[in-house]
């Protein structure tokens, strides 16, 4: 259930300013909170950490929620506090949340507040059986490794079969929850934390495209979209905004010039190693489909014209190449809210975006773009 960490060339653009901002007001009063204990509230996405101290079994946080909701780690005390119940992951949005009751930890405290609080509590209740299956599947992984080490093939097969059943059962529950809660903020957490490790990139993008409301407009979904496509906006299903930039000869060329064709708009740069690693597949796809109403329109985020032209010549790239030579301030990249490269999206003959994030490095040998074009053009 592991997933390869993917490489992308990050750009100096704001990630979290896209969504509405507001303030989180978190308060707690629990008997297990010890006087002067330090309490941390850490957001692993924007890396911002707040801290405060317990006074009279209580503490509070007030912070701006720039970028919408996110997953946080709430912890009272230093070190591993999970066993005590005073360290939990929790989805938070702008609004109010209060922990109260007689429980000694956050796990079993009463949580009340705005709508996102009930959504988080309900999600944990609904998915509790599935989470047990998921944990059991992870526990079996250790037994599988041990059986492999001693060469017990029968045990490996049996344990692997048991693990597969548990993962499939949990996965079905997670997917059902998402399908029934496409506008709920905690759904972004379920997709990222529970389903992403066992789901293809295409499936993740499909859910991100279906999300609405707070499921869509939060830091988790923005992070996932950026990692999968290099962009912070889901363009699939929308009309592709037009742009105009100079080609290698200085001639102004627009995306609109290619209307009537399938066009892969590809953002790259000569200095971007992950971009260069994608070129062999792009050249293969171009050669295969260039006579079938398909082309590629590359937009470079270079600043040095000689290096840009040199890379095009060295890589022998035969399709149209554009750049305004403004590096990460490239106007087309800003229109499409590109956060990292390589980033690409597929535009149909009517000018609508029908797909994005076609990267061979995601799934080596999967030929995602080739397969998508084969369905459209063959």
- What pLDDT sits at residue 224? 87
Give the residue range(s) of CATH 2.60.40 domains in the chain. 17-117
In angstroms, the Cα distances linking 47 to 50, 71, 196, 217 are: 10, 11, 21, 19
Which 3 state secondary structure label does DSSP give 356?
strand
| HSE of 18, CA atoms in CB hemisphere, 13 A | 26
Tokens of 176: 């059902």
Please state, for a pLDDT cut of 70, what percent of the chain lies above it. 90
Q: Where do we find the tokens 């059962």?
A: 169
Q: Which strands sit side by side in the sheet containing 262-268, from one edge to the other?
A: 320-322, 294-300, 262-268, 343-347, 353-356
Tokens of 132: 């047990």
**pLDDT at residue 4 tops 60:** no
CATH superfamily of 244-377: Glutaredoxin (3.40.30.10)
Which 3 state secondary structure label does DSSP give 131?
helix
pLDDT digits (tens, 9 = 90+) for 20-65: 568 999 999 999 999 999 999 999 888 889 999 999 999 999 999 9
The confidence band for 249, taking pLDDT boundaries of 50, 70 and 90, is very high
- What pLDDT sits at residue 2? 34
Over residues 208-237, the mean pLDDT reads 82
Give the residue range(s) of CATH 3.40.30.10 domains in the chain. 244-377
Tokens of 299: 């937009």
- Cα radius of gyration rounded to whole Å, the chain: 24
**pLDDT at residue 236 tops 70:** yes
- What pLDDT sits at residue 295? 97
- What pLDDT sits at residue 12? 46
- What pLDDT sits at residue 368? 82
CATH 3.20.20 for domain 17-117: no
- Give the DSSP letter of residue 137: H
- Give the DSSP letter of residue 197: G
Q: What angle do CA 168, 201, 164 make, to 5 degrees?
A: 15
**pLDDT at residue 17 tops 80:** no
- What pLDDT sits at residue 1? 36
- What pLDDT sits at residue 179? 97
pLDDT digits (tens, 9 = 90+) for 274-300: 889 899 999 999 999 999 999 999 999
């Amino acid at each position: 259930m592991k997933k390869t960490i993917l490489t992308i060339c990050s750009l100096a653009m704001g990630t979290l300013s896209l969504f509405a901002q507001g303030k989180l007001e978190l308060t707690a009063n629990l008997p297990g909170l010890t006087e002067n204990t330090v309490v941390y509230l850490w957001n692993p996405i924007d890396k911002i950490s707040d801290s405060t101290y317990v006074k009279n079994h209580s503490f509070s946080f007030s912070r701006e929620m720039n970028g919408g909701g996110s997953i946080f780690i709430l912890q009272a005390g230093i070190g591993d506090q999970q066993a005590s119940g005073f360290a939990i992951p929790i989805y938070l949005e702008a609004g109010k949340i209060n922990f109260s009751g007689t429980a000694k930890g956050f796990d079993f405290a009463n949580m009340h507040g705005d709508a996102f609080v009930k959504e988080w509590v309900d999600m944990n209740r609904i998915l509790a059986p599935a989470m047990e299956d998921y944990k059991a599947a992870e526990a079996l992984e250790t037994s599988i490794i041990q059986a492999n080490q001693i060469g017990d093939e029968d045990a490996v097969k049996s344990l692997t079969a048991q693990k597969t059943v548990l993962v499939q059962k949990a996965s079905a529950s997670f997917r059902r929850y998402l399908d029934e809660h496409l506008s709920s903020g905690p759904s972004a957490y379920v997709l990222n934390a529970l389903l992403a490790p066992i789901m293809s990139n295409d499936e993740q993008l499909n859910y991100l495209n279906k999300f609405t409301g707070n499921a869509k407009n939060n830091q988790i979904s923005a992070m996932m979209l950026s990692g999968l496509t290099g962009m912070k906006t889901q363009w699939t299903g929308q009309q592709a905004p037009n742009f105009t930039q100079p080609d290698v000869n200085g001639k102004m060329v627009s995306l609109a010039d290619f209307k009537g064709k399938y066009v892969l708009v590809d953002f790259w740069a000569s200095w971007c190693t992950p971009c260069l690693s994608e070129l062999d597949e792009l050249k293969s796809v171009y050669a295969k489909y260039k006579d079938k109403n398909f082309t590629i329109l590359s937009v470079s985020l270079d600043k040095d014209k000689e290096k840009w032209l040199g890379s095009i010549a060295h890589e022998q790239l035969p399709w149209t190449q554009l750049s305004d030579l403004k590096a990460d301030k490239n106007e087309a990249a800003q229109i499409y809210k590109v956060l990292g490269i390589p980033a690409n999206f597929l535009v149909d003959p009517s000018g609508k975006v029908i797909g994005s994030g076609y990267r061979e490095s995601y799934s080596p040998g999967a030929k995602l773009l080739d397969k998508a074009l084969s369905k459209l053009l063959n």
